[in-house]
Amino acid sequence: MIDAKGYRANVGIILSNDDGKVFWARRCGQDAWQFPQGGIQENEAPLDAMYRELQEETGLLASHVRLIGQTDGWLRYRIPQHLLRHRSKPLCIGQKQIWFRLQLTGCEADFDLCSSDTPEFDLWRWVDYWTPLKEIVFFKRKVYRQALRQLERCA
């Protein structure tokens, strides 16, 4: 869903383990790491989208995690001009995201990066809470900082 301003509705997921580390995944065939995230479908609630994306991208089910917080509202980032898909209509200029923080209650054996027909990630690791700010692509850095700051208090 792309709104009238050109932002695609999306959810982001910060998944923590018992040591306070966060799940960090590499996009298939790329040297790009990120948190799980994905679009909200028409007539889908953000919470439902989050659980769907969690399962599609990590193989985890709602029973493997505990919801511990979410951002207060939409966080936005713009896609750099050279990466815009001008032939797609309506034009998507960026993402507006609601971020969720989850605590893993299952075990690492519950992860399955190939649980969907089109896997998003080919590798994952646990990293310190603030490490993603150093490694995320530059145009997502501000929204990652906002999400991490808001959800830090939910630990």
pLDDT tens-digit readout, 104-124: 999 999 999 999 999 999 999
- In CATH terms, the fold of domain 7-152 is Nucleoside Triphosphate Pyrophosphohydrolase (3.90.79)
Q: Domain residue spans in the chain?
A: 7-152
- What's the average model confidence in pLDDT over 15-34? 96
pTM for this structure?
Answer: 0.94
Asked if pLDDT for residue 155 goes beyond 70, the answer is: no
User: Which amino acid is it at 77?
Assistant: Y
